[in-house]
Amino acid sequence: MAVLSGLHGMGSVIYGKAFVSLPIPDGNSDLSKQVIIVTGSNTGLGFEATRHLARLGVGKLIMAVRTTAKGDEAKKKILAESGRPESSIEVWPIDMDNYESVKSFASRASQLPRLDGVMANAGLMTTKFSLSEGKEKNLNVNVISTFLLYLLLLPKMRESGKQTGNLCRFVIPNSALHYMAPVAELTPGDQRIMDRLNDPQKADMAGRYPLTKLLVIYAIREFAKRTESSGKGSCIINTPNPSFCKSGLARETQDSAGFRVFESLLARSTEEGSRALVHGLLAGPESNGQYLTNCRVQSPARHVTGKWGQQVQVSFFEELLEELERIQPCISSVV
């Protein structure tokens, strides 16, 4: 099953590069009233997505960045080429590796007059084991802090949707690498999943980034299901795959000759990949809880949809809620 999933994942990258040209995002008149947040928006996919959103006339863009000076420079470039007014883009600080920073950002964002979309683009790919906030760094940034931000903003997203009639979208980039994720660390045993992932003696760091993308799929599927059934109102949460792109995400390996050849043959430009993220941000209710590829809903790996995957999904989700509850008491009650 693992070999077939890996082949499917690689096949989707090759097919996307060879046969698919992603559509350039189209706007609509409602965007002029909307407020959208893009994290990690000073570079790479986040920057290109923000360029598209500015071109489409989004009323207010919040560029959420770790270093505000870099965000200010990116803002200047986007304003210069789009001709938008200076007030249409704001730069706010956020460090997705720091829970207090995420909380502070979410508190500020909750005071916005409305919130129509969040592109949680900021992410990390490293094969070097280190802890931050007591958690392995990939896991902390790509999963725990991302869903901390989601739950902290969920009340505001629901409120905004009820007021405006426009369901807020929360978008987390994914990857076809989730098909190749090593799942041994998820198999039930004598440790919680989170504890195994945070154990330097057991961590499979070569496969950690793909595994975090798999965990994102588990979480968004479960969050979508539970928020829809809660009766508290909902927003749309989905996870689009921009495919392999020429960006700085894989900076640890991009200097190798093999990687450069692979990139030249199969990688999309960062601009083209960002189209998939903007599509996810503007997608309809049919995208809720879904993995998207080439701007359409696609079934994720068998280790998501099969019986084993469904069991792991629930187990991991409960552990994730426990972790988030430790970070922010009573946060799980908003689900």
Say yes or no to pLDDT of 259 above 60: no
Output the pLDDT for position 189: 76
Say yes or no to pLDDT of 112 above 60: yes
The position carrying tokens 């041994």 is 184
Q: Taking residues 300-314, report their average pLDDT.
A: 96
Per-position b or e across 107-146, b if 16+ CB within 10 A of its CB: eebeebebbbbbbbbbbbbbeeeeebeebbbbbbbbbbbb
Residue 60 CB contacts under 8 Å (≥ 6 apart), including other chains: 34, 35, 36, 88, 89, 90, 112
Q: Rounded CA gap, 271 and 69, in Å?
A: 22
Residue-wise pLDDT for 129-180, tens only, equals 999 999 999 999 999 999 999 999 999 999 999 999 999 999 999 999 999 9
Query: What's the predicted TM-score (pTM) here?
Result: 0.93
The answer to whether the CB of 121 falls within 8 A of the CB of 52 is no
Can you list the domains of the chain with their CATH numbers? 2-14+28-324 (3.40.50.720)
Identify whether 179 is a catalytic site residue.
Answer: no
Catalytic residue among 99, 150, 209, 291: 209
Highest mean pLDDT among 23-37, 112-126, 174-188, 222-236: 112-126
Identify whether 213 is a catalytic site residue.
Answer: yes
SS3 237: strand
Tokens of 159: 């409120």
Q: Rounded CA gap, 13 and 94, in Å?
A: 31
SS3 38: strand
Residue-wise pLDDT for 265-290, tens only, equals 567 899 999 999 999 999 999 999 99
Measure Cα distances from 189 to 41, 109, 186 in Å.
39, 40, 9
CA-based nearest residue to 156, from 100, 109, 121: 109
Q: Amino acid identity of 200?
A: P
Residue-wise pLDDT for 177-236, tens only, equals 999 999 999 987 778 999 999 999 999 999 999 999 999 999 999 999 999 889 888 899
Q: Rounded CA gap, 92 and 326, in Å?
A: 26
Output the pLDDT for position 8: 60
Catalytic residue among 156, 213, 218, 291: 213
Say yes or no to pLDDT of 19 above 70: no
